[in-house]
Chain A
Amino acid sequence: MKKIILFLFVLALSFSGCEKDDICDANTPTTPRLVIGFYDFLNPSLLKNVTDLKVIGDGMAKGVLFNGAETTNANTISIPLKTVGTTTTYRLTLNSGNSNAALVDEDIIKFDYTTKEVFVSRACGYKSIFTLDPTTPYTHTDPIAANQKWIKFISVEKNNIENENETHIKIFF
């Protein structure tokens, strides 16, 4: 009897050293990206595909990857916002890498926002959600003043960026 009790004590103590191994599930909504939809300027209700669009964050060497490639021909893109600080600047280049230099066009959009950290779970920790600045949510410039901007109009659809299920920004070109 005493042997059994002793053995159980040892057993119970040995289990106390075990650690958890939970990891953040990929399906858990965490920090959302900014979802941008591209629309036809002449027919604003229609989505329009971009051609070889390259999106590079300010100060970054490489572009944001879309399905593993730096350029995309889709009509919707998702790009991350910086969770440290309150502005993120992106250079959006249309016809990137095109041999005809006249077609390559670069626009710069600076997004201004505030962040809020929301608790998710033990495994995921916190996530950031963003609120675009109500007065100047974005600043649209062109690096070459003489050049005409390829983006004709930008419309903010959702000020609060809380998930990736909706389009937050519409770009018309």
Chain B
Amino acid sequence: MKHTLKSFFSFFLVLSITLAQAQETTPKPKQEKTNPTEISKSKTSDDSQQIPDAPLTLVNLEPIVKKSDSIPVKTDRYGVRVGVDIYKLTRALYDKNYKGIELVGDYRLTKKYFLAAELGNENKTTDDDRVNFTTKGSYIKAGFDYNAYENWLDMENIISIGLRYGFSTFNQQLNSYKVYNSNPYFGEIPVIASGKKFDGLSASWIEVVAGVKAKVFNNVFMGFSLRLNRLITNKEPENFSNLYIPGFNRTYDGSFGVGFNYTVTYFVPIYKKKVKPAINIKTEKAK
């Protein structure tokens, strides 16, 4: 499942890169530049034989070339984006074993880098074949996003890759469990009710985030992200295990995990910055 998701994502990332490529409008003054010289050359050669009637067109061409070189002023808006994870919020409506909220936020540091953080609280009852337990706790994730998407004029879409450090404190309550017996001579062992609570647990992890944010209207953005997690520390309960960690989600044998969120955010602009047309300067030098 993880691998298909990943490949799907990378496929669309490739797609989006081609989109970005398609936006690259390289100025085409070269063709127009060569024309006048050709005309002037032909003009001199023709001089001896005929009275030239070209000058009018020559005068007209020059200003057009200059016009295409001028660049509209582009400004980038800097500010704070705040929002919630819609998936976690709505999950409580159809999953009675889950309650959770995640607040997300980011702050634009530079043209490409964003400080990003998530803050959440979860209350989840996991019903597995052999264990049933409830996990309650809060978590915080902090890190950065790098926007790899080249926007048109005033577009503010984001296709980002980022890194987070996550930390969670939580407790686990074992509701019921089964004893595994590979030799059921005396019959199947019934489910044993427990109710044992394990307090003061914590875990920390590193998260790689791949995300998309699109401006739907005004300052409202919709986005989603896929996350690959790796546990760094994990304070385990005695005679039980952290099978679920708030923020990290389900744990697997190899200390890796996956996650995703689906966000609606509001952008609060603080200041604007003019974008220097770096690309155009380069092309002019090349000429």
Contacts and interface: CB of A to CB of B under 8 A. Distances in A.
B241 interface: yes
B260 A124 contact: no
A82 B15 CA distance: 61
The number of chain B residues touching the other chain, given as a range, is: 35 or more
A117 B177 CA distance: 10
Contacts of A20: 250
Interface stretch (A8-16, A41-49, A151-159): A8-16
B200 to A, nearest CB: 18
Contact of B185 (A1, A5, A60, A123): A60
B224 A1 contact: no
Nearest to A124: B180
Interface in A10-46: 11-13, 15-16, 18, 20, 24, 26, 30-31, 33
Interface residues of A, number: 39
Interface in A76-117: 79-80, 82-84, 88, 117
B56 to A, nearest CB: 45
B179 A16 contact: no
A143 interface: no
A22 to B, nearest CB: 9
A4 B12 contact: yes
Interface string A38-73: 000000000000000000010010001000000000
A5 B212 contact: yes
Interface in A111-165: 117-128
A16 to B, nearest CB: 7
Given A15-B5, A57-B185, A64-B185, A5 B130 contact: no
A79 B133 CA distance: 32
Nearest to B178: A125
Given A1-B19, A84-B189, A30 B182 contact: yes
A136 B26 CA distance: 92
A80 B262 contact: no
B186 A82 contact: yes
Contact of B224 (A8, A121, A126): A8
Contacts of A121: 241
A83 B181 contact: yes
A11 B130 contact: no
B226 interface: yes
Interface of B: 1, 5, 8-9, 12, 15-16, 19, 87, 128-131, 157, 177-183, 185-186, 189-190, 192, 212, 214, 222, 224, 226, 239-241, 243, 250, 260, 262
Interface of A: 1-2, 4-5, 8-9, 11-13, 15-16, 18, 20, 24, 26, 30-31, 33, 57, 60, 64, 79-80, 82-84, 88, 117-128
